Structure 1
Amino acid sequence: MTDDADGTWVDESDWELGAEQVADAVEEASAPPPVVAVVGRPNVGKSTLVNRILGRREAVVQDVPGVTRDRVSYDASWSGRRFVVQDTGGWEPDAKGLQQLVAEQASVAMRTADAVIFVVDNVTGATTADEAAAKILQRSGKPVFLAANKVDNERGEADAASLWSLGLGQPHPISAMHGRGVADLLDNVLEALPAVSEVAGGSGGPRRVALVGKPNVGKSSLLNRLSGDERSVVHDVAGTTVDPVDSLIEMEGRLWRFVDTAGLRRKVGQASGHEFYASVRTHSAIDSAEVAIVLIDASQPLTEQDQRVLGMVIEAGRALVVAFNKWDLVDEDRRYLLDREIDLQLAQVQWAPRVNISAKTGRAVQKLVPALETALQSWDSRISTGRLNTFFKEIVAATPPPVRGGKQPRILFATQATTRPPTFVLFTSGFLEAGYRRFLERRLRETFGFEGSPIRINVRVREKRGHRSR
């Protein structure tokens, strides 16, 4: 083999760590780690427990109830096992419908997590909101761990026994603040977790579509248009007041499942609770879907909220179609401004199919189906290892990675670890800068398409044999 410095493409035999390490890295990239959701009423110590599990202050903790406005996921590990901790949000404790909101949170956790830690304030004891959530969790079929928080002494442990009444099995007395009992709780959780997340994989049946966007953008109107005049709702999958309701809709001779759509339209009494509720619903719909239609009001300037919803879809790794609604209200001047806004503000989703529609008049809604099919095809697509390595060999020869620390990193080997979304693992002889990774993503898209799907690039730096570790 030729010398390092000339940037020559080399093969797998050059690595220090060999094929077994490749297999491990590919498996790690392709196997979504199991998800543990932490749920409970406001101010019971959910975020404090999340920080304790992570061993660092990540989640926002204040003495004001309901600080966590959204649902956030963090990578964690315990006893050498990787998993994801989902910190579910809180809201004002006097919000109307608190009982329903807590139950809603439990319902979302059921759908999007492999196991649930249900946190109850041991000092207060079980409330009606706790009981409502416990009922949902009992029928989830998921492992549920009841954490009796704020137990600082033996007397508190005795009090925790009263929480058996929730019907979730043995209460685990803990103090998230001081760490008491948390290790034992985590040991129990890990025993029940699957090796690979069972909620991340797609199941068969109709493709699952999330219809999401900021309030009043026309989600209900579009759903009614799709299910009403020209197409028929086959049936509504039964749900209770807090369970999501999916709609099966026939479009272009094919069944599609619109996930969580009724929930997106449901109203809740108080604004602060409602904001949280809408956010949880949006997250839940995206997590439950394979492809998201993000609806944007074309007649108004793009907003931060539009950007946030698009960010949720990309972060969740779902296929994406952007639909500009209310096109009947767009004149020539607005069209010019919108084009500029798209160039400036939606650069991160240039790869997504765009459809200009009017839910009100029915304009171009039939174009949604080909856009959905294109995005899903990209999301499912796989490139052979041979073709991928030839591609990277040519790219690196034409545009080598930037020199770093006097050495030029090389891409030694590349493979696609998984689809949904397409995820690539690059084994390199040095660090690849973020700008160069973005360049590689652009070239991957130019060559292989991937229209409508996010793609992910994981880099594994490998020392070549005989090199001293830096």
Structure 2
Amino acid sequence: MTDDYEDDYTPPAPSDPQESLDEVREAALRAGLEAYELDEGDLATLEGEPVEQREALPILAIVGRPNVGKSTLINRIIGRRLAVVEDTPGVTRDRVTYEAEWAGRDFLLMDTGGWESGVTGIDLSVAQSAEAAMELADAMLFVVDATVGPTATDEKVVKLLRKTKKPVVLVANKVDGPQGELEAAALWNLGLGEPYPVSALHGRGVGDLLDVAVGALPTEARMVDDEGSPRRIALVGRPNVGKSSLLNKLADSERAVVNELAGTTRDPVDELIEVDGELFTFIDTAGIRRRVHLSQGADYYASLRTSAAIQRAELALVLLDGSVPLTEQDLRILSEVVDAGRAIVMVVNKWDLVGEEERFMFERSFEKDLTHLTWAARVNLSALTGWHTNRLKRAMDEALTNWDRRISTGKLNTFLGELVSAHPHPVRGGKQPKILFATQASTRPPTFVLFTSGFLDPQYRRYIERRLRETFDFEGTPIHISVRVREKRGRR
């Protein structure tokens, strides 16, 4: 007698034995964590759903003319002396955006410089810096020196602020007492509403100001990446390394102005460009047209544009000039991309024109200064002729794929177990810290959390990162490793 049920039955495919072992190991290690004191954040990390999208922090820009105390206010808000404070207008800074937090809200604080030239004044200095911030920011703090009162420059900036139709909070700085509050009252004449008296130097009134400023920021989080939209690529690098030439070559048209003078691109250009059948959004960040008497301001404005582009992008193409050794500015831009957690491809331009001696000098500086970035993808090409630009798409795809990569918890813990068995952590003070459990908390960039019984040496953490890269292929993306030391319950 034939059984139709048996004829239609298809046995399940045998499961991967290694995968089953990984899952068993994961369950055993997770159970072992119950003996340790875990806080709510730990439990959320262990039980939370994978976070594939990253919220874009709202931007609060600081605008105003020079020497009104913008950098002092930034340092006061972030609680650290990071922004350079000098009496000289136009001081170039390494960073123009800073992460900040107030009343549980995270946001980006953008420093707009505030430099100006006596020759061109508002037209090419304050205006460009302020307009850039207005375009990028969600809300603005307009800082005015209460001891001086509203000036003609302040009034011109007010006109720019009104055009944006974005929230503006008027800050009356350098108010140290009742007399200063009377002086601040004169700022009502600017027509921006109530001036908030503060002393950035001493901290007076800054808390009340931040309450208002944070309230002006949008409450709905924006996502850095929208599913299905073209991936965003920032073209960054110091002036005259060929960013606009590469953009034009990829687009196969003159989309951006190319000139031998450094910094001829005035505004950032978002271009939809098809590369080997796939659409990408390219953000050109070449800076502004440079004038001799505005060189400091132009550099600063370009820096602001670069920082903003990196924040908006998923991957940065960092262009380097292969005909000269790496510069401090090159290293600063590379560091900013890594700090922002973006995927990265280093593009060495003009390589077809580089002689043997120049190549030797470049490679020497590359090996000396970028030992910490051996994981970054690199493509040597010529943006002008198109030589080897066909290699760029593959490097971009690999970097973005690795930026998105997720390792299963079972596989991750098996990897760490084998690593620790082969190379255990050194004994320190008679104790040997153990890795209790590990999980990947998020992607973009890949972020791992290690629960341990003690602190891990920096060298051992770097060893773990190196082996992670070798085993799971994280070329082209930074990876973050967070170590959480936890004690056994009842041990105090």
Question: Mean alpha-carbon deviation: is it higher for 47-56 or for 359-368?
Answer: 47-56
Matching of residue 393 in structure 1 with residue 414 in structure 2 = no
- Tell me which of 249, 263, 278 is aligned to 1:254: 278
Q: Could you tell me which residue of structure 2 aligns to residue 61 of structure 1?
A: 85
Q: Could you tell me which residue of structure 2 aligns to residue 286 of structure 1?
A: 310
Matching of residue 428 in structure 1 with residue 452 in structure 2 = yes
- Tell me which of 423, 432, 440 is aligned to 1:416: 440
1:382-429 alpha-carbon deviations (Å, 9 max, x no partner): 222222222222222222223333211122222222221111121221
Q: Could you tell me which residue of structure 1 aligns to residue 479 of structure 2?
A: 455
1:264 aligned counterpart, secondary structure: coil
Question: Mean alpha-carbon deviation: is it higher for 364-373 or for 152-161?
Answer: 152-161
Q: 1:334 Cα deviation (Å)?
A: 3.6
1:216 aligned counterpart, secondary structure: coil
1:421 to 1:133, Cα distance in 2 relative to 1, 3 A: farther
Within 2, Cα distance between the matches of 1:440 and 1:95?
A: 56
- Tell me which of 170, 173, 177 is aligned to 1:149: 173
1:247 to 1:33, Cα distance in 2 relative to 1, 3 A: closer
1:226-260 alpha-carbon deviations (Å, 9 max, x no partner): 2235xx869xxxxxx98643222222122221214
Q: Could you tell me which residue of structure 2 aligns to residue 4 of structure 1?
A: none
Within 2, Cα distance between the matches of 1:346 and 1:376?
A: 21
Give the aligned residue type for 2:224. G
Report the structure number with the largest CA radius of gyration.
2
Q: Could you tell me which residue of structure 2 aligns to residue 381 of structure 1?
A: 405
1:331 to 1:260, Cα distance in 2 relative to 1, 3 A: closer
Within 2, Cα distance between the matches of 1:425 and 1:88?
A: 35
Within 1, Cα distance between the matches of 2:135 and 2:429?
A: 47
Within 2, Cα distance between the matches of 1:252 and 1:457?
A: 34
Percent of aligned positions with the same letter in both sequences? 57
Question: Mean alpha-carbon deviation: is it higher for 136-145 or for 345-354?
Answer: 136-145
- Tell me which of 234, 248, 259 is aligned to 1:210: 234
- Tell me which of 309, 319, 344 is aligned to 2:333: 309
1:405 to 1:144, Cα distance in 2 relative to 1, 3 A: farther
Within 2, Cα distance between the matches of 1:9 and 1:451?
A: 29
TM-score (ref. length: structure 2)? 0.80
Q: Could you tell me which residue of structure 2 aligns to residue 5 of structure 1?
A: none
- Any residues of structure 2 matched to 1:81-230 within 5 Å, and which? 85-91=109-115, 94=118, 96=120, 98-110=122-134, 115-127=139-151, 129-131=153-155, 133-134=157-158, 137-138=161-162, 143-164=167-188, 168-193=192-217, 198=222, 201-204=224-227, 205-229=229-253
Within 2, Cα distance between the matches of 1:126 and 1:68?
A: 26
Matching of residue 355 in structure 1 with residue 376 in structure 2 = no
Mapped contact 2:198–2:205 kept (Cα < 8 A):
yes
Give the aligned residue type for 2:312. S
1:270 aligned counterpart, secondary structure: helix
Q: 1:67 Cα deviation (Å)?
A: 3.8
Q: Could you tell me which residue of structure 2 aligns to residue 48 of structure 1?
A: 72
Q: Could you tell me which residue of structure 1 aligns to residue 287 of structure 2?
A: 264
Give the aligned residue type for 1:464. K
Q: 1:274 Cα deviation (Å)?
A: 1.7
Within 1, Cα distance between the matches of 2:33 and 2:137?
A: 37
Matching of residue 12 in structure 1 with residue 33 in structure 2 = yes
Q: Could you tell me which residue of structure 2 aligns to residue 331 of structure 1?
A: 355
1:378 aligned counterpart, secondary structure: helix
Q: 1:106 Cα deviation (Å)?
A: 3.7
Question: Mean alpha-carbon deviation: is it higher for 366-375 or for 156-165?
Answer: 156-165
2:269 aligned counterpart, secondary structure: coil
Within 2, Cα distance between the matches of 1:304 and 1:396?
A: 38
The count of corresponding residues between Structure 1 and Structure 2 is: 450
Give the superposed CA RMSD. 3.3
Within 2, Cα distance between the matches of 1:111 and 1:419?
A: 29
Within 2, Cα distance between the matches of 1:393 and 1:134?
A: 61
Q: 1:357 Cα deviation (Å)?
A: 0.7
Within 1, Cα distance between the matches of 2:242 and 2:326?
A: 15
- 5+ residue gaps, structure 2: 1-27, 257-264
Q: 1:354 Cα deviation (Å)?
A: 1.2
1:288 to 1:412, Cα distance in 2 relative to 1, 3 A: same
Mapped contact 1:117–1:146 kept (Cα < 8 A):
yes
Q: 1:222 Cα deviation (Å)?
A: 1.7
Q: Could you tell me which residue of structure 2 aligns to residue 345 of structure 1?
A: 369
2:207 aligned counterpart, secondary structure: helix
Q: 1:169 Cα deviation (Å)?
A: 3.9
Mapped contact 2:453–2:486 kept (Cα < 8 A):
yes
2:429 aligned counterpart, secondary structure: coil
Q: Could you tell me which residue of structure 2 aligns to residue 296 of structure 1?
A: 320
Q: 1:203 Cα deviation (Å)?
A: 3.4
1:408 aligned counterpart, secondary structure: coil
1:96-125 alpha-carbon deviations (Å, 9 max, x no partner): 454443344344445665543221222334
1:42-71 alpha-carbon deviations (Å, 9 max, x no partner): 211012212333445443333334446343
Mapped contact 1:70–1:276 kept (Cα < 8 A):
no
- 5+ residue gaps, structure 1: 1-7, 235-240
Within 1, Cα distance between the matches of 2:103 and 2:119?
A: 39
- Tell me which of 298, 321, 325 is aligned to 2:345: 321
1:135 to 1:437, Cα distance in 2 relative to 1, 3 A: farther
- Tell me which of 32, 39, 44 is aligned to 1:23: 44
Mapped contact 2:324–2:361 kept (Cα < 8 A):
no
1:173 to 1:411, Cα distance in 2 relative to 1, 3 A: same
Mapped contact 1:48–1:61 kept (Cα < 8 A):
yes
1:287 to 1:19, Cα distance in 2 relative to 1, 3 A: closer
Give the aligned residue type for 2:441. A
Mapped contact 1:417–1:424 kept (Cα < 8 A):
yes
